[in-house]
Chain A
Amino acid sequence: MKKFLNNIDNMLIESLSGFATAHADLVELHLEPNFLTRKNKAKNKVAIISGGGSGHEPLHAGYIGYGMLDAACPGQVFTSPTPDQMLAAAEAVHADKGVLFIVKNYAGDVMNFEMAAEMLPFEHDTILTSDDCAVVNSTYTTGRRGVAGTVIIEKCVGSLAEAGADLQTCKALGDKINSRTASIGVALTSCTVPAAGRPTFDINETELEMGVGIHGEPGRRREAMRETDAIVKDMVDAILTDLKPQKNQEILLLVNGLGATPLMELYLIFNTAAKLLNQHHIQITRSLVGNYTTAIDMAGASITVCLLDDEIKEHWDSPAHTPALRWSI
């Protein structure tokens, strides 16, 4: 393993400190328990809080700021944060309209957020994201996994909360988007958890893992490496089978890098996916390409499709100002 680090035990804190310093105009880091909040606390809105294991940067702290999250709780690498972090974050950012947790569907995250919710002295609710259509039940999950589609939910629900909507309305939009979003990932290499020091799984030069999870969990199957058009066709087919879109359906197409795949290749994937979707008479009217939900240093990518409607479009297009997503502001 060759990585930029000083001392493995300090790696997370040093990285979080760098993040907070680099984006000091937007975020503030709180330690013991660890959580990040907006630099300027928002008033009179539902407080949107997310969190999860580290290693998926910029998820979630990168989406703190106007139009998205109020706070994020980072756990250790690929390990859920703990309820004391969520309680402290909720205490810091709640603004009299309740607290909404956005949680990726992994057993550890679900249970820790659930225990925090039970102890919260405020009105609260939780959106559980489960956009990964690759597998049902896996190493850390009962049901489908929550992956890159979470970014779309954080963007749109954040926008709705900013507009002053109440807790249940925000929760309902999140659930709606989750039900209209599907993702699937593919890995060309494993990731390496720094504390483990070796790759999470073995995969050779001639193989790919179809349907990989964002921690390197197994997907649908190990397959032979082949040209990208063929790989992307299988991914798009899996998504279309899951979402069953109507003809002329408008969609948001997100091609997400898993950490070690360059933008040049991500755009190549987008090119193929767009052509295939056009052949199915699906209209890509919103798009996003880049590293938005990563798996440390995995070479690989995921494709996410969200079936748009007017409400989702309005909140996707609205202004956001966060370290990792910024537009119209």
Chain B
Amino acid sequence: MSLKTSFICESAIAICAAIDSHEAEIESLDRAIGDGDHYINMKRSSEVIASMVNELKPLPPDEALNKIGMKLLSTIGGASGPLFASFFMSMAKVVKHNGANNPLEIAAAFAAGVQGIMQRGKAELGEKTMLDVLIPASTTFTISAAAGKSITEICQAVKAAADEGLENTRNLVATKGRAAGLGERAIGHLDAGAKSCQVMIHASCNLLLKS
């Protein structure tokens, strides 16, 4: 299995639909402990990317990923633009140099993307941000791929890791991101950015599970 631009495009469309169908949930999480504009940003950016699939289709996967990153960078603004852009641009670099021709290489590219977010946001696991979903999902992806698991098994494991990571944000005090500054007041709420990432991971995995 290798990473194909057609999958990136289908994934973009699936993510856009998934964000749309989780509007109420993401919005209410962000209203509780965020600044209230996270859903609008996610909707706007996922629509922009879904609308550029025709431009992306003829490109090799690394160029498609890089183009998504550049587009997010000039479209979103705020902190989410550079964070998501860093994910796609870091991933693109690894795909370009090392290829993405098997699950382990794709996992390495995904891990580079997550690393890009960590560096840009100067954040780590356990700070009540999207990284609390992305880091465990990435680690699970790498471990399952290295163990030679099937695509189905990998996807199920990654989804489960994302679910668990999301649930873990409930009892964290936020030290980075939208809920930082609320201190103890954020305890008991899931993080909206973590929820969006869990939704996106599910959307992409479900696409692979269907095929």
Contacts and interface: CB of A to CB of B under 8 A. Distances in A.
Interface of A: 33, 75-76, 79-84, 107-108, 111-112, 114-115, 135, 137-142, 196, 217-218
Given A108-B77, A112-B82, A139 B122 contact: no
Contacts of A115: 73, 82, 85-86, 120
A82 B81 contact: yes
B74 A140 contact: no
A218 B77 CA distance: 22
The residue in B77, B78, B79, B85 that gathers the most chain A C-beta atoms within 10 A of its C-beta is: B78
Nearest to A115: B82
A111 B176 CA distance: 14
Contacts of B122: 142
Interface residues of B, number: 23
A108 B78 contact: yes
A139 B77 contact: no
A84 to B, nearest CB: 4
A80 B78 contact: yes
Contacts of A137: 175, 180-181
Contact of B178 (A81, A112, A139, A196): A139
B79 A84 contact: no
B161 interface: no
Given A108-B81, A115-B82, 17 more contacts: A75-B77, A76-B77, A82-B74, A82-B77, A82-B81, A84-B74, A108-B82, A111-B82, A111-B120, A112-B81, A115-B120, A135-B181, A138-B181, A139-B180, A139-B181, A141-B181, A217-B181
A80 B85 contact: no
Contacts of B120: 111, 114-115
B121 interface: yes
Contact of B73 (A84, A107, A135, A217): A84
B77 A81 contact: yes
**9 smallest beta-carbon distances between A and B, as pairs:** A111-B82, A138-B181, A108-B78, A108-B79, A107-B79, A84-B74, A79-B77, A82-B74, A137-B180
Interface of B: 35-36, 73-79, 81-83, 85-86, 120-122, 175-178, 180-181
A79 B181 contact: no
Nearest to A216: B35
Given A111-B120, A114-B120, A217-B181, A140 B77 contact: no
Contacts of A217: 181
15 contacts: A80-B78, A80-B81, A82-B73, A83-B82, A84-B74, A111-B81, A112-B73, A112-B81, A112-B82, A137-B180, A137-B181, A138-B180, A139-B35, A141-B180, A142-B180
B74 A83 contact: yes
Contact of B83 (A33, A111, A135, A142): A111
B132 to A, nearest CB: 17
The residue in A75, A79, A107 that gathers the most chain B C-beta atoms within 10 A of its C-beta is: A107
Contact of A112 (B36, B77, B180): B77
Nearest to A136: B181
Contacts of A81: 77
Nearest to B175: A137
A115 B82 CA distance: 7
Contacts of A142: 122, 176, 180
Contacts of B175: 137
A218 B33 CA distance: 12
Contacts of B83: 111
A83 B79 CA distance: 12
B182 to A, nearest CB: 8
B154 to A, nearest CB: 31
Nearest to A33: B74
A135 to B, nearest CB: 7
A79 B78 contact: yes
A279 to B, nearest CB: 33
A245 B178 CA distance: 34
The residue in A83, A142, A196 that gathers the most chain B C-beta atoms within 10 A of its C-beta is: A142
Contacts of B79: 80, 107-108, 111, 140
Contacts of B35: 139-140
B56 to A, nearest CB: 19
A190 B195 CA distance: 29
B67 to A, nearest CB: 14
B195 to A, nearest CB: 18
Contacts of B176: 142
A305 B104 CA distance: 56
A82 B78 CA distance: 8
A218 B86 CA distance: 29
A18 B175 CA distance: 41
A217 B77 CA distance: 19
Nearest to A79: B77
Contacts of A135: 181
B83 to A, nearest CB: 7
